[in-house]
Structure 1
């Protein structure tokens, strides 16, 4: 996939908004299994505590429309790898805090592109 080419049908995963938010923040991942379209639901302690997650350990992805397939398993595996690294390294909480601070802040990026983003991107 090329940069800017993320809006592809195989990069779409529909879910309830609270799960979508947690998925985007790596609060849970879908780890591949040996069965096609079946994933292990791995929940991290950072997930929303007010959301009732499925009790099943495994999730099977399906498509309700035969014209469209399910999400690309390579993309889901990459997402799971990133989530596992973030949590194993202890960086998940720091990144979550930085993202929260960024969302709460006034716009800090100059429209002309002159903002020095090195401090924004540093997690050390």
Structure 2
């Protein structure tokens, strides 16, 4: 079985067993870092994930969420919600995570060197 076939099989199993809408990726280091960044922001603000899911649901209803059909990439919706929460008169999320970013980058580089 080829790597793409394995990834498709994993994706199907996750979708069918959990009912989650998900994407599976391999070898995408930037995606790992951005996912960790998003997780850190979600720990700071519990309303982040429900807001992103609601926004993505709305985008699906409006048929603007399919990148292959000229729509907006799914990750962009999360970025828009984060930006909105950062730009409020009294920001709900920080614009920069400071030392946390250095910590994640350092640990990520350690994992790569193994």
TM over 0.5: no
Give the number of the structure whose residues are more often strand, by fraction: 1
The structure where helix makes up a greater share of residues is: 2
